[in-house]
Chains A and B, each alone.
Chain A
Amino acid sequence: MSRDTPSLFPGTLELIVLQLLSAEPTNGYDLSLRIQAISRDVLNVNAGSLYPALYRLEHKGLITAEWTQTAAGRRAKTYSLTSRGRRQLVEQRESWQRFAGALVAILRVS
C-alpha cells in the first residue's frame, strides 16, 4: 500500500512502537506523528497501519490501553508498556542491534 517507501521488516513496527512507548505513554495519533517526525522520509508508515500493530501488542499483553483525558481536554486511548513489554523491548533491541551490526559488517566487506 505504501508504494514508494521501503517496506518494513516484519516486526519492525512493533519494535518502534515499544521503543517510543517506553519513553512515555501516549495515544495512537501522537504516536503516528512521532514516528513520522523521527523517521521522516525513510519510513513512511501509513498512519492507519499503526493500529493493527498496537492491537497485536495489546493482544500479546506487551502494552495496555486506557481511555484518559489529554492535556487538550480530549478523551484519548493512551497506550503504555507493561512489564512484559519492557522485557520484550530489551530483548528485541539487543537482537536487532546484533543483526544490524552483522548486516552492516557484511555490506561493508563486499
Chain B
Amino acid sequence: MIRRLWLRIRGIVHPGASERDMQDEMRQHLDRATERLMARGLSPREARAAAAREFGNLGAIQEEARDARGPWSRFVSELGQNIRYGLRVLAKKPSFTIVAVLTLALGVGANTAIFSIVNAVLLRPLPYRDPHGLVRIFFNEPGVGLRDIRFSQPELADLEQRADVFEAVSPIFEGSEIVSGAGQPERVEGLNSSFSYFSMLGVTPQLGRLFDSQDFVPGFAPKLVISDALWRRAYGADPNVVGRTIRLDSDPYTIIGVLPRGFRHPGPTVSGDVEAFGAGGFTGEPFPAPLRGKRILVNGIGRLKPGLTLARAQERLTAMAAQLRRDFPGDYPPQTRWTIEIQPLQDTLVGSVRPMLLVLLGAVILIVFIVSLNIANLLLARASGRQQEMAVRLSLGASRGRLVRQLLTESMLLSLIGGVAGVAMAVGTLQLMLRFVPGSVPRLNEVSIDWVVLAFALLISILTGLVFGLAPAFHSANAALSAGLREGGRGSGYGTKTGRLRDGLIVSELAFAVILMVGAGLLLRTLRELLTENPGFNPTQVVAASIELPNPNDPKTDPYRDIPRRAILDREVLRRMKAIPGVELAGLTSALPSTNTNPNAVGGIVNEGFAIEDRPAQSSQDLRAERIRISPDYFPVLRATLLRGRAFTEDDADGKPLVAIIDESTAHKYWPTSDPLGRRVRFGRDATLPWTTIVGVVKDIKSDGLDIDGVPHIYVSLYQDNGRRLSVVLRTSLPATVLEPQIRRGILSVDPGLPIFNVASMNAVLDRSLATRRFSAELVGGFAGLAALVSAIGIYGLLAYLAGQRRREIGIRMALGARREDILRMFLRKGVALAGVGLVAGLVVSASTASVMASLLYGVRPHDPAVFLIVPLLLFAITVFASYVPARRATEVDLISALREA
C-alpha cells in the first residue's frame, strides 16, 4: 500500500521516471527476443525485425500502456513529448510563430498592464491593519437632498460613546500648511484628525512615536507627525529629528514621529500626499464650544468594532439617528430626516474611477479575444496543410484524443510564450505607461505586478490559447480521421464544415470589434461634447494661480484674522497683478472653475443653506447653493455674461449693504416665476445675521467641472466675505510660463510668507479636469482602431485563402463563360455576408449592454444614434475594402495554368 502510494507520488513528482521505466522494459524485451532469434540462426537484422513483428505495433502498445496507468500518469508522460514536438513545429514555421507570439504578447501585455492598475486600485485591500473594518461615515439629510454634510462635536461623541459600533472615529481636515523656516516658505499638504487616527489605521512609525490618548488636548496639540518624504526633503533624513520644532502657518510644533515610507492618508487631498499630520480634540480653542447645532467637523472615518458586520453597524447607527432626532427636535428638523450612513472606506476612495477602469479592462479583454480569433483562423488555414501529418500519426497508433491534445499543446505553447513575452513587456513599460494615467486616479503608487496580476496574465494566456486552439485542434483531428492517408492532404476545397467554422470565427471577430468601436464611439463623443461644451466663460488668454493664506491656531498672531484684514490683502494682490506688463485685467475667486475642489475642504466652495426673505422658514431648510467669493473684475476677466442687474464694484466692501449675484440655475430653481433682482437672502441658520441683496444674474459658469450641470451658485463680494483659499485670474495674451515669475514676485512682495501654486493657463486647468475622460476615451479609441484593423486582416486573410483554394473552380467557371465581374461579385458577396452577420450581432450585443457605460457618458445617450450608425458603416466600408483586394486578385487567375493544375 505504501509502496503503491510512493510509486504514485513519484509518478507525479517525477513524471519522466515511469515513462523511462516503460521504455527500458520494452527495449529489454526486444533485445532478449532478438538474441533468442539470433540463437536460432537469424541474421541480426532479420532477428530484430522478427522480434518487432512478434511484439506488435510498438507505438500503439505504448499508448495503451500509458492509458493503463490511469489518466494522470498518461497526461504527464505525454506532456513532455507534446511540448518537445510542439516546439519543433513552432520552430519550423518561424514567421508564423513570430507574428502570433508578437500579437499575443501585445494583447496579454495590455491586459497585464490594465489589470495591474485594476488590481492595485480596485481589488487589493487598503494597506492598513484589517482594512475591511475601515469605513467612511456620512451624515445625510435625505429629506432635503443633502449628503455628506458637516457634523458637530457632540455628534462625534455620540459615534464614539453611544453608538456601540466603532472602535475609533476621527474627522479629517485636509488643507495646506505653510512650512516656514529656512529659505522660501513651502506649501505642504496637511491634515488634522483625532488622536486615534494612527492607531485606527494600525501604523507603526519609523522614528519616534505617533499620537495616542496621552496627547489629548481640547484644541490643537502642539505636536506633529511628518511623512517620510518631508523628513527626507526638509531634514535630510536626520535621525535626530524627533523633538525638533517646525513652524506650520507660523505656529511652532514639536515633531514626535516620522511615518514609514509607504504610508498614505486614505482619502482625497487638495493636491498631492499629506506630509504634516496634526491632531486635536475639537472641543476647545480655536474650536467653538461643543454645541449639537454647531456643525464644523468634516470627513468622518472610523473603524468598526471587531466582528461587527457593516449591515449590523448600519442598523445600530440608523436606530441611534432616529433616537437623536426624537431627543433633539430643535437640532434635527423632522423634514430633513437627518441620518448617519457608513460605507467601506475603499469603496468611497475608488468608487469614482471604478466604471472607467472596468470599461478599460473590458476593452483589453475584447482586444485579446479578437487577436486570438484571428490566430485561430491562421491555425485553421495551416491545419489543412497538416492533414497528411495527422493521418500518418493516426495510422502509427496515435489516438484521436492524443492528436487533439498534441494540437492543443501547440496552441498553449504559443499562447504561453506570447503570455510570457506580454508580461515581460508589461513589466518593462509599466512605469512609462503609468505616466499617461491621469494623477486623479487614486492609489496609482501602489500599482505593481504581483502574483495576482501574474495569475491573471496566465489565465488570459490560457483562455486565449483555448480560444484559438480548440476549434482548429478538433477540426484537424476529425479531418485527419476522415481524410486518411490516401488523399495526401491536398484538400479538394473549402469543406462546408471548416468553412462554417472559419466563417463563425470571422463573424465573432467582427462582432467583438463592433462592441469595442461602439464603446469607443460613445466615449469619444462624450469627450468631444465636453471639449465643445461652453463652460460659461472664455478660458483662452486667461492665466490662473492659487494662493493660500496661513491659518495659525492663535488668532492674535494671525495677520489675516478677519474679513477687513483679508480684504486689504486681496486688494493689494489685485493691484500688483494689474501692474504686471501684459496683464489687462485681474480678478480673484475662492473657487477656480473645474478644479473639482473637494466641497468639504476648508475654504474654497462653501455649500450651505440659506433663507429667502418673505418665505416660510420651514422650506428654507432645503435652500442650498454653492457660495463663491469673487472680486469685481472676476466676470470681466472670464468674459462671463452678466444677464441682468450689475456686477460688483469696489464699493461693495465691508460695512456696506451685503450684495450677491446669482447664476441662472439659482434663478430658475428658487425664483422660477418672479424676478430675483432686489430680493434678499440670508446665509446660514442664524436669524441674527444680516440679509444679502441680489443685485445681478450671471450666465451659468461650470464651476464644479465641465460634466456637472445645474448646481446653483451664489456669488458674493470678496470684500464682504472672504476666506483663506484664493485663486488669481488674469486676462492676458502672455503664456503662463512667461507670467509665472512676475506673478510670484508680485504676490511675495505683498507677503513673502504666502505660498503660490498651480500657475497655469485656464485652458490647461480645464484640460486637466478632463484628463481621466480623455485618457479612457483615447485608450478605448485606440483599442477600437486596432480591433477594426485586426478584423479587416481576418477577412482579408480568409478571402485570400479561399481564392487560393478555389483557383481551379474559378478557372473552370471562367472557361465556362463567367466574367471577371461575376467572380469579383462572388467573393465580395462572401465578405459582405460575413460582415453583415458580424455587424448585426455586434450591434445587438452593444445595444443591450451599452447602458453599463451610462455613468461614463455626458451629453450622449448610451444608444446614441450617430454612434450606432457610424460604427457599422465604417466597419462595413473597411470590410468591403478588405474583401475587394483578394476578390480582385481571384479574378486575375490565369485560366490555362489554373486548369492545368487540376
Contacts and interface: CB of A to CB of B under 8 A. Distances in A.
A99 interface: no
Interface string A1-38: 11000000000000000000000000011001000000
5 contacts: A29-B29, A46-B54, A46-B55, A48-B56, A64-B4
Interface string B1-39: 101100000000000000001101110110011000000
Nearest to B64: A52
Interface string A53-66: 11110110100100
B57 interface: yes
Contacts of B24: 77
Contacts of B56: 1-2, 46-49
A56 B3 contact: no
Task: Give the most central of A32, A48, A56: most B CB within 10 Å.
Answer: A48
A55 B69 contact: yes
A43 interface: no
Given A52-B67, A55-B69, A56-B68, A47 B55 contact: yes
Nearest to A31: B29
A64 B68 CA distance: 14
B26 A48 contact: yes
Contacts of A46: 54-56, 61
Contacts of A53: 68
For B28, B67, B69, which residue has the most chain A Cβ atoms within 10 angstroms?
A: B28
Interface string B65-105: 10111100100000000000000000000000000000000
Given A1-B56, A51-B25, A52-B67, A61 B4 contact: yes
A1 B58 CA distance: 12
A75 B25 CA distance: 10
A77 B68 contact: no
A99 B140 CA distance: 86
A77 B818 CA distance: 72
A74 interface: yes
Contacts of B68: 52-56, 59
Contacts of B25: 28, 51, 77
A77 B33 contact: no
Contact of B29 (A32, A55, A56, A75): A32
Contacts of A49: 56, 61, 64
A55 B21 CA distance: 11
A52 B61 contact: yes
B65 A64 contact: no
A15 to B, nearest CB: 16
A64 B55 contact: no
B217 to A, nearest CB: 77
Nearest to A64: B3
A76 B32 CA distance: 11
Interface of B: 1, 3-4, 21-22, 24-26, 28-29, 32-33, 54-58, 60-61, 64-65, 67-70, 73
A48 B57 contact: yes
Contact of B28 (A52, A56, A76): A76
B3 A29 contact: no
B47 to A, nearest CB: 14
A99 B21 CA distance: 37
Interface in A64-95: 64, 74-77
Interface residues of A, number: 23
A75 to B, nearest CB: 8
A47 B58 CA distance: 10
Contacts of A55: 22, 65, 68-69
Given A1-B57, A46-B54, A51-B61, A29 B32 contact: yes
A2 to B, nearest CB: 8
Candidate in A2, A53, A56 with the most chain B CB atoms within 10 angstroms:
A56
Contacts of B21: 77
Nearest to A74: B28
Contacts of A1: 56-57, 60
Nearest to B58: A48
A52 B57 CA distance: 12
B70 A59 contact: yes
Of A1, A46, A47, A49, chain B has the most CB atoms within 10 Å of the CB of A47
Contacts of A58: 69
Contacts of B54: 46-47
Most buried by B among A2, A53, A55, A56: A55
A47 to B, nearest CB: 5
A55 to B, nearest CB: 4
B63 to A, nearest CB: 9
A29 B28 contact: yes
A47 B65 contact: no
Contacts of A75: 28
A28 B65 contact: no
| Residue of B4, B24, B57 with most chain A CB atoms under a 10 A cut-off | B4
Nearest to A83: B1
Nearest to B4: A61
A53 to B, nearest CB: 7
Nearest to A55: B68
A36 B253 CA distance: 100
Contacts of B55: 46-48
A53 B24 CA distance: 17
Contacts of A59: 68-70, 73
Contacts of A29: 28-29, 32-33
A2 B1 CA distance: 36
Contacts of B65: 51-52, 55
Given A51-B65, A55-B22, A56-B68, 5 more contacts: A1-B57, A48-B57, A49-B64, A51-B61, A55-B65
Contacts of B3: 64
A55 B58 CA distance: 15
Contacts of A32: 29
B29 A28 contact: yes
Nearest to A56: B68
A51 B22 contact: yes
A58 B3 CA distance: 11
Most chain B beta carbons < 10 A, residue from A29, A64, A75, A76: A29
A78 B548 CA distance: 90
B9 to A, nearest CB: 14
Contacts of B32: 29
A54 B22 CA distance: 11
10 residue pairs, one from A and one from B, having the closest CB atoms: A46-B56, A55-B68, A48-B56, A56-B68, A48-B61, A52-B64, A48-B55, A52-B68, A52-B65, A29-B29
Nearest to A30: B32
A35 B58 CA distance: 19
B67 A51 contact: no
Nearest to B70: A59
B2 to A, nearest CB: 11
Nearest to B51: A47
A83 to B, nearest CB: 10
Nearest to A61: B4
Q: Which of A1, A49, A51, A61 has the most CB of B within 10 A?
A: A51
